[in-house]
Chains A and B, each alone.
Chain A
Amino acid sequence: MKKVLFAVLIVVLAWGGVSAAFAGTFSFDPMPQVPLFREPVADPYSFSSKLHIAMALDEDNRPNKVYSVIIETDGANPENDRGFYDFLPYDDTPLKAGNNKYINMKTAMSLGLLRLRYSGEGWVPSIDLELNLAGYINTIFNMFGKNDTLDFDGAYLLGASVRFADCVSIRVGIHHFSGHYGDEMLEKFYKYNKVDSSEQYRGGSLFEYAKAEAGKKYYLVSPVEYVRDNSWIAGISADLPFGIRLYGEAELPQNPSWLRPFVHCPADYDNPVDGDNGRPTMIDRIGGDAADGEQIPQYQLDEEQNLKRTANGSYKAWRIHTGLEWRINVGFGSVFAAADVQFHQDGQTLHKMGGYDKSNPWEMELTVGGGIELGDFLSDGRTVRLEAYYHNGRVPATQWFYQRFSSVTVGIGVN
């Protein structure tokens, strides 16, 4: 992190020096309206604000069951303890047919800071350079029952961008994801599953498990969580003639970093906590018996480690996405169409212990839509969009990453 900031500082200072030496061909804008790398409108994880109503098209794929970390024990032989994930309902209401509408609200900011521009001369194209800061907080809640909130999740990005000839932009930086469950849903979840925290074992609380085997006890450690803290990210975007834009981004978790759930952790990544010498790897720390671990028995962690090692280290929990946008200018702004495709390498784990196989496919998400954009996007102004999308992918709330979701959404977007 320090190295990145230092490098960026050096580049900015160097550019500033050159700028001073060639006054007239260089310009400086401390706070441009829109960053060089614009947020893709169809990207579900973009740093753009929105208020969307989403309707699930498939009753069997709705966010109504919470994927949970469970410990099974016979109460006598700890070596027989077993950890696993399973889906637990949180209430009867969300399971009912027809309860399939949700509100997705995201507030976001994406900024270019301290932009330096060389306007180009002769065969040398214009070059822009800037620092970037972006963040969002996202929430999704039910449009039925008592409008329970399902999730709050946050993301941020720190980085820098360069643009050549007002056409091709490259952005690099560090990227963070952190998911959180909604409090109202959690309250119901504990009640529905009759969680009894007066009896605790391995950091979990006794609960009533519908699939319990005779003679076994089941302890709920926590719902499964999604964290990427932090990843490297790099992206490229090209503004082509006729209002067409193509883009792509890839992100790779840092080593070490904090990453959840443990089944998504790559093998041989280091434990992110300094001084925790008893747990050498990321899998040991995230999955193990530290207070913030998933409390999975060590033999299962070793199995997971071995399973991913046999893949020759190719599994890294990559995320890649690519897409296109097409705008036609009209008097009040523009009309647009856009598509985004996401690829998650963690889909190869099937999101369960022992599920990883190199031959498993990466998980994909498709988002396609369009609408009307008010405001002047092309001249770096702020815009408001009236938009509609079809989405086939994950629930648009990172904590619910394990739940597929096919939906249509309509709403408003703000950049």
Chain B
Amino acid sequence: MKRPACVVAVLILSLCLSFASGFEFEIVPAAGPLFKEPVADPYSFVSRIHIQKALDPNQRPTRIKAAVKIVDGSSTTTDYIMLPVSDNMVADPDKYSNYLEMRLGTSASLARVRYDGNEKIPSIDAELTIGGALNTLFMIFNSSASLGFDGTWMAGASIRVGDVFTIRGGMHHFSGHYGDEILDDFYERNRVDFNNGRKINADFEGREEGKDYYIHNLVEYVRDNYWIVGASVDLPFGLRFYGELEWPFKDVWLRPFSSTPAGHNTQSGTPLLEYVGGSSEGFTEEQVQDELKRKTGTGYNALRAHVGFEFFFDISRAVSVFVSADLQFHQDGQTKHMPNSYSPDNPWEREFSVAGGVELGDVLPGRHVRIELGYHNGRVSTTDWFYQRCEIAYIGLSIG
């Protein structure tokens, strides 16, 4: 209740200020939000259609990581195992290396108040902002089966000073989902028996004789919710630098178990690591306690940070060319995305993306269309497949 009241108070204050000299108030400004979505950021709230080509045949989304119960006589443990979606996908990289990413995102300013400034005080803009994106990745083969769908949104506020320096803060959500068609293929290929505890009846790499394997859950990616804060600075000559950092709420819902930090609870008060590891993914109490011990007091908090720059060169009022680079840092890379593998000495996982192309439309205000080429070395472009590295070249259209 306090939060809505605070928002209403800000709106009323903004309206009052708008009647004062030097202040302007605007509902849903056409120029778009103060904090522009970075063009090379793989997780930004933009729309895009990209045709992707995997450059490394050994790094493609062909196997789903699952939390699997392994029964060996009287002993039971749980581990993450990579299981093929289909044998053809794994065996034929020439045919199964092209993808289509379709992302539809909106980032909007809801209400903005602007102080024009004077000789001593720079202009100041403040606004409420929302952003959301639904994203999907398809294979350009195999009946164009979908690999995943994922959603993300944020709600927050931004301040810009001197039309140059912008800060954005708010809450941020990620939720990954596997595609329905590949799930059909996956369960069929692995001959999974839901009538017998999801027993795997097919062979797979690493399967050991004499042991039975049961899928407890597929590994999924959820961040519900994080705090996020970012800064962006527009410099002369079309240069821009930006950076953002996000960290989990105290009562966060986060998956998978291997990425979950110690010291957080679910909203019902249950220790998060125990809930996600136990109920959700079927790890033994001993494995959960080992994970807890490894992470407690280490500073591990599943942080994500990214930085980048953009350079726009105006050819005319309506056309510009650009280059951009974005670097992501995931603290959950220290877990190697496996249970009981976290170490503070492990490196954070990095993603590198670089893009360039032509932008149509007003470069600064409003929306624009970009024809772009890019290179990405990082995670697969749909969050449930976060554990799969890929190296891709892409070409496509982007709208932001």
Contacts and interface: CB of A to CB of B under 8 A. Distances in A.
Given A139-B149, A152-B136, A154-B102, A194 B183 contact: no
B89 to A, nearest CB: 14
A179 to B, nearest CB: 9
Contacts of A107: 47, 104-106, 132-134
A197 B192 contact: yes
A200 B201 CA distance: 12
B364 to A, nearest CB: 13
A292 B151 contact: no
A34 to B, nearest CB: 10
Contact of B360 (A30, A181, A222, A384): A30
A31 B47 contact: no
Contact of A332 (B27, B105, B149, B369): B27
B74 interface: no
A371 interface: no
Interface stretch (B173-181, B261-269, B299-307, B347-355): B173-181
Interface in B97-126: 102, 104-106, 108, 110
A105 interface: yes
A182 B180 contact: yes
A137 B149 contact: yes
Interface residues of A, number: 52
Interface stretch (A108-116, A162-170, A231-239, A309-317): A108-116
Contact of A383 (B28, B136, B360, B397): B28
Q: Which residue of B28, B146, B178, B369 has the most chain A CB atoms within 10 A of its CB atom?
A: B28
Q: Which residue of B47, B102, B136, B360 has the most chain A CB atoms within 10 A of its CB atom?
A: B47
Given A107-B132, A107-B134, A137-B135, A196 B193 contact: yes
A198 B104 CA distance: 38
Given A137-B104, A382-B30, A30 B319 contact: yes
B188 A197 contact: yes
Nearest to A136: B104
B366 A414 contact: no
B207 interface: no
Contact of A33 (B102, B177, B367, B399): B367
Contacts of B43: none
Q: Which residue of A137, A374, A376 has the most chain B CB atoms within 10 A of its CB atom?
A: A137
Chain B interface mostly helix, strand, loop or mixed? strand
A384 B180 contact: no
Given A30-B319, A31-B368, A382-B28, A105 B151 contact: yes
B318 interface: yes
Nearest to A208: B195
Interface in A49-82: 49, 51
B194 A182 contact: no
Given A107-B104, A111-B399, A137 B136 contact: yes
Given A33-B367, A180-B180, A384-B28, A414 B108 contact: yes
Nearest to B192: A197
Contacts of A154: 102, 136
B132 A139 contact: no
Interface stretch (A16-24, A118-126, A183-191, A244-252): A183-191
B360 A31 contact: yes
B180 A186 contact: yes
A292 B360 CA distance: 40
Interface string A195-207: 1111010000100
Nearest to B384: A183
Given A30-B318, A136-B104, A186-B183, 4 more contacts: A133-B397, A139-B134, A183-B149, A198-B192
20 contacts: A30-B369, A31-B360, A33-B367, A105-B132, A109-B399, A133-B397, A135-B49, A152-B134, A183-B179, A184-B177, A186-B180, A190-B187, A193-B194, A196-B196, A200-B191, A205-B188, A223-B180, A381-B30, A382-B28, A384-B27
Interface of A: 30-31, 33, 49, 51, 105-109, 111, 113, 133, 135-139, 149, 152, 154, 180-184, 186-187, 190-191, 193-198, 200, 205, 208, 222-223, 292, 332-333, 374-376, 381-384, 414
